């Protein structure tokens, strides 16, 4: 058994002598063993065992037992006396006022009883201090409530005595006052306008002056309205009702805060030296909190227990599934199940079951951690928090977790579950022949891709190569166009900057799919651009019939579409660069190219590098331009088979494999392969950018 500490500590760190003389005697003997010889240690151990054996005969426990009996009788008697006291109160008192008077009565009784046991244990000390605080605040609560109730009754009585004549006179006075104030407002505004006409003040000063005059006018009318007896009485009643509602709340919150402060400074004594409740109640979250007398927290964790035993575990075992068989369904994948059952549902429900079990495990761990922390603190003397303290702690320290939980829930079930489903699907043989029922095949799909085998794998590396070329060239081209255009329009000698900036932003302002479809029609065999190109070169040139020409056209089109965003980013950064840098460079004899290379480009890249990297990842998966322009064509069955076209990138290839040809499993393998690659290269790009290495320019 662990040793008892001779001293207790509170939450703040102050030390206290034990009042439990039995535990103090054991603690003293146990600490004497540290410096005792072998024979003395045996003798001390015997004394400790004798103390524990004769615990009931120890003087302290006899006194403590008598205290417990007296305390139980006191609580029982206090309950009866409180009922009797409440019955004798004036029946016309409001329920809140009755409750406050009963609390004051109970506090007085508690203070008198526990005052006799202050030297016996810290429990009596705590109850005594709590009662003292209640006796301090409840009289003030009662006085406040009675005072406000009286004023409210007087105000209601006054409302009955109001005459229509007085109200009519007040209305006349208000209308006269309103006309005077309106005339004064018009005069003041006219004066301001004259000053603006004479150019004594600016437009901004005129605008602010008008607002201030109107504010004063409205404020004056509001105050004047209160001279109406009816409105003044209505506002008084509303104010008194608000005070009767809020003032007691403030006082009770202050009382709870003071009680919490006492709890932090008054230790607790327990006999246990190990957190036995935490481990014994591990499989029933909420029970440990209940035994620690944290009742509200216990209720919350009992809800978690209901979730674990009536939702998570049954679902994992297959109860309540739509078609699946819980976690077991991940193994069988509907093998031997009725024909209407699908392997996909078994897979998804199995994954959901795993996540529900993981959530259940997290709830077990959170509950264990909470109970263990409370017990370990109680062992050294720190009193468990009441609900007020717990709630305040949640508001301050737990706020980030409360805000993050909904996002975590969404991430798990909207993002992580589909990702895991895709990952697991890549290890199956879901294809046109195995749509309803499929099975596990291990890493065969990945082997086909790496080795370039099979219908899908044979063209994978060709499409990957074009995807990389497309991403690097099209994105770099768009960045280069946007950067150059921003440099040109930002030059001080350029006239009509607003017009040029508007034109350069049009590709971003107009929906991309409209632009893509427009150029797709223009480059069709009978399109206008096809005719123009043919006339220029003297022969019929159809861009969409040539893989290389289509690829070049797509790169040029994406350069135009993507340049607007880069232009906007770069323009913002260029306008923020201090002119002093360029002036200093000119003094040093720098050329335009040197200023651009040494000042402009580093600053622009520092500010925009993370966003430019996202442009590469975006174009890597830019499905819309590939699909809308020519559907991934032109098609060359001898080279790409019937699964892809000459301009298909991986994302459009995945679409065709999945939605058109029903090769879901190998598509999932490609998705994972591509996702890992994109994440890796994006990480390298972010890590090597100065914006992530340095805090300042």
pLDDT tens digits, 37-56:
888 888 988 998 998 888 88
Judge whether residue 592 has pLDDT over 90: no
Return all residues near 146 (Cβ < 8 A) that are at least 6 apart.
Answer: 97
**Residue 36 counted as domain residue:** yes
**Residue 142 counted as domain residue:** no
User: Any bridge partners for residue 325, and if so which?
Assistant: 327
In a shared domain, residues 311 and 209 = no
**Residue 172 counted as domain residue:** yes
**3-state SS of the chain: helix, strand, coil percent to 5?**
75, 0, 25
In a shared domain, residues 242 and 281 = no
Residues 59-112: pLDDT tens digits? 999 999 999 999 999 999 999 999 999 999 888 888 888 999 999 999 999 999
In a shared domain, residues 466 and 319 = no
| CATH number of the CATH domain containing 662 | 1.10.3720.10
In a shared domain, residues 402 and 474 = no
Q: Give the side-chain half-sphere CA count within 13 A for 599.
A: 20
Judge whether residue 696 has pLDDT over 50: no
Question: How confident is the model at residue 505, as a pLDDT?
Answer: 83
Question: How confident is the model at residue 508, as a pLDDT?
Answer: 80
Phi first, then psi, for residue 343 (nearest 5°) are -65, -35
Judge whether residue 692 has pLDDT over 60: no
Question: How confident is the model at residue 689, as a pLDDT?
Answer: 60
Residues 225-234: pLDDT tens digits? 877 888 888 8
In a shared domain, residues 382 and 479 = no
**Residue 402 counted as domain residue:** yes
Give the CA-trace dihedral at 65, 70, 76, 77, to 10 degrees: 180
End position of a domain, from candidates 213, 230, 249 = 249
In a shared domain, residues 331 and 413 = yes
Number of domains present in the structure of the chain = 4
Residue 695: DSSP 8-state: S
In a shared domain, residues 232 and 341 = no
Which has more pLDDT, 564 or 226? 564
Mean pLDDT of 406-429: 89
In a shared domain, residues 191 and 339 = no
Mean pLDDT of 496-512: 83
Mean pLDDT of 544-568: 93
Domain range holding 26? 1-46
- Nearest-angstrom CA–CA distance, 282 and 361: 11
Which has more pLDDT, 77 or 240? 77
**Residue 167 counted as domain residue:** yes
In a shared domain, residues 483 and 401 = no
In a shared domain, residues 457 and 577 = yes
Q: What percent of the chain shows pLDDT beyond 90? A: 46
Judge whether residue 558 has pLDDT over 80: yes
Q: Report the mean per-residue pLDDT for the chain.
A: 88
Q: CA angle at residue 64 from 62 to 67, to 5 degrees?
A: 115
Which has more pLDDT, 8 or 156? 8
**Residue 411 counted as domain residue:** yes
DSSP-derived 3-state class of residue 580: helix
**Residue 56 counted as domain residue:** no
Question: How confident is the model at residue 202, as a pLDDT?
Answer: 86
**Residue 122 counted as domain residue:** no
Say whether the peptide bond before residue 272 is cis (omega within 30 degrees of 0). Answer: no
In a shared domain, residues 181 and 302 = no
- Nearest-angstrom CA–CA distance, 642 and 552: 23
Q: What percent of the chain shows pLDDT beyond 70? A: 98
Judge whether residue 691 has pLDDT over 60: no
End position of a domain, from candidates 249, 264, 288 = 249
How many residues appear in the chain? 697
In a shared domain, residues 517 and 663 = yes
- Residue 10 burial by CB count (10 A; 0-12/13-18/19+): exposed, middle or buried? buried
Question: How confident is the model at residue 690, as a pLDDT?
Answer: 55
Give the CA-trace dihedral at 491, 496, 500, 503, to 10 degrees: 170
């Amino acid at each position: 058994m662990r040793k008892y500490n001779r001293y207790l500590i509170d939450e703040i760190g102050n030390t206290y002598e034990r009042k439990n003389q039995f535990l103090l005697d054991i603690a003293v003997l146990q600490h004497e063993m540290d410096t005792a010889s072998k024979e003395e240690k045996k003798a001390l151990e015997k004394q400790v065992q004798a103390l524990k054996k004769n615990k009931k005969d120890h003087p302290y426990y006899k006194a403590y037992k008598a205290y417990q009996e007296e305390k139980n009788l006191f609580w029982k008697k206090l309950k009866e006396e409180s009922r009797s006291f409440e019955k004798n109160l004036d029946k016309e008192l409001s329920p809140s006022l009755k409750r406050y008077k009963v609390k004051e009565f109970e506090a007085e009784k508690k203070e008198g009883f526990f005052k006799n046991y202050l030297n016996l244990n810290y429990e009596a000390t705590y109850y005594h201090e709590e009662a003292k605080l209640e006796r301090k605040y409840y009289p003030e609560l009662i006085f406040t409530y009675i005072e406000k109730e009286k004023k409210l009754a007087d105000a209601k009585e006054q409302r009955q005595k109001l005459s229509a004549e007085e109200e009519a006179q007040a209305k006349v006075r208000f209308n006269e006052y309103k006309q005077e104030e309106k005339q004064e407002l018009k005069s003041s505004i006219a004066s301001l306008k004259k000053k603006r006409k004479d150019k004594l003040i600016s437009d901004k000063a005129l605008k602010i002056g008008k607002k201030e005059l109107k504010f004063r006018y409205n404020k004056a009318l509001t105050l004047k309205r209160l001279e109406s007896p009816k409105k003044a009485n209505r506002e008084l009643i509303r104010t008194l009702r608000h005070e009767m509602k809020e003032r007691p709340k403030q006082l009770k919150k202050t009382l709870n805060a003071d009680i919490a402060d006492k709890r932090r400074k008054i230790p607790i004594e327990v006999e246990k030296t190990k957190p036995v409740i935490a481990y014994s109640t591990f499989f029933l979250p909420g029970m440990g909190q209940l035994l620690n007398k944290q009742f509200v927290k216990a209720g919350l964790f009992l809800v978690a227990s209901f979730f674990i035993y009536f939702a998570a575990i049954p679902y994992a075992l297959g109860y309540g599934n739509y078609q699946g068989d819980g976690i077991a369904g991940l193994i069988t994948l509907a093998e031997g199940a009725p024909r209407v059952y699908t392997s996909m549902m078994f897979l998804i429900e199995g994954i959901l079951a795993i996540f529900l079990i993981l959530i259940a495990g997290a709830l077990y761990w959170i509950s264990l951690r909470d109970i263990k922390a409370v017990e370990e603190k109680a062992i050294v003397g720190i009193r468990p928090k009441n609900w007020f303290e717990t709630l305040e702690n949640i508001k301050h320290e737990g706020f980030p977790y409360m805000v993050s939980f909904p996002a975590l829930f969404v991430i798990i079930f909207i993002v992580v579950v589909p990702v895991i489903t895709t990952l697991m699907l890549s290890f199956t043989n879901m294809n046109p022949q195995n749509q309803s029922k499929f099975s596990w095949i291990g890493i065969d799909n990945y082997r086909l891709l790496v080795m370039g085998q099979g219908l899908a794998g044979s063209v994978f590396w060709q499409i990957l190569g074009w995807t990389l070329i497309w991403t690097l060239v099209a994105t770099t081209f768009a960045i280069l166009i946007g950067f150059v255009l921003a440099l040109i329009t930002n030059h001080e000698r350029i006239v009509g900057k607003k017009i040029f900036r508007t034109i350069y932003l049009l590709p971003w302002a107009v929906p991309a799919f409209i632009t893509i479809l427009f150029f797709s029609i223009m480059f069709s065999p009978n399109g206008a651009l096809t005719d123009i190109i043919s006339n220029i070169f003297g022969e019929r040139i159809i861009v969409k019939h040539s893989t290389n020409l289509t690829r070049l056209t797509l790169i040029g089109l994406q350069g135009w579409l993507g340049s607007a965003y880069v232009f906007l980013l770069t323009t913002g950064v260029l306008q923020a660069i201090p002119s002093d840098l360029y002036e200093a460079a000119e003094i040093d004899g720098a050329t335009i190219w040197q200023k651009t290379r040494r000042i402009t480009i580093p600053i622009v890249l520092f500010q925009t590098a993370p966003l430019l990297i996202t442009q590469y990842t975006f174009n890597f998966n830019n499905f819309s331009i590939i699909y809308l322009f020519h559907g991934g064509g032109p098609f060359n069955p001898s080279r790409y088979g019937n699964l892809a076209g000459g301009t298909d990138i991986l994302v459009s290839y995945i679409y065709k494999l999945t939605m058109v040809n029903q090769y879901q499993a190998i598509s999932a393998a490609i998705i994972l392969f591509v996702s890992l690659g994109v994440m890796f290269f994006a990480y390298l790009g972010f890590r090597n950018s100065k914006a992530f290495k340095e805090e300042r320019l």
